């Protein structure tokens, strides 16, 4: 699909920033700081997603591809 390969992150390197949203520990403080700064400026900053395992990402791509009757290349552009 043209995506660059990447390594799976070790579970020990993930932390929750919301009840169902995990991110790499190295970026968690920056994300929370950014959200707090946005809120001080009256902006409602909402995290919609975080880390996805390779398996979960494949499931999402291929299930949406099937539901939308797309070929893999079309789905990868989204």
Give the pLDDT of residue 78: 55
Q: Which helix (H) or strand (E) holds 13?
A: none
Give the pLDDT of residue 58: 76
Q: In terms of pLDDT, which residue wins out, 67 or 27?
A: 27
- Is it the case that residue 32 has pLDDT exceeding 60? yes
pLDDT digits (tens, 9 = 90+) for 56-69: 877 777 776 566 66
Strands (E), the chain: 14-18, 21-24
- 47 Cβ contact partners less than 8 Å away, ≥ 6 residues apart: 17, 18, 21, 31, 35
Alpha-carbon distance of 72 to 1, in angstroms, equals: 7
pTM more than 0.75: no
Q: Quick one: average pLDDT of 8-30?
A: 94
């Amino acid at each position: 699909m043209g995506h660059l390969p990447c390594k799976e992150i070790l579970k020990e390197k993930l932390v929750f920033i919301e009840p169902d949203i995990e991110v790499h520990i190295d970026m968690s403080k920056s994300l929370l700081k950014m959200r707090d700064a946005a809120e001080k400026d009256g902006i409602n900053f909402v995290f919609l997603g975080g880390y996805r395992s390779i398996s979960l990402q494949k499931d999402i791509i291929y299930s949406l591809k099937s539901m939308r009757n797309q070929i893999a290349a079309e789905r990868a552009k989204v």
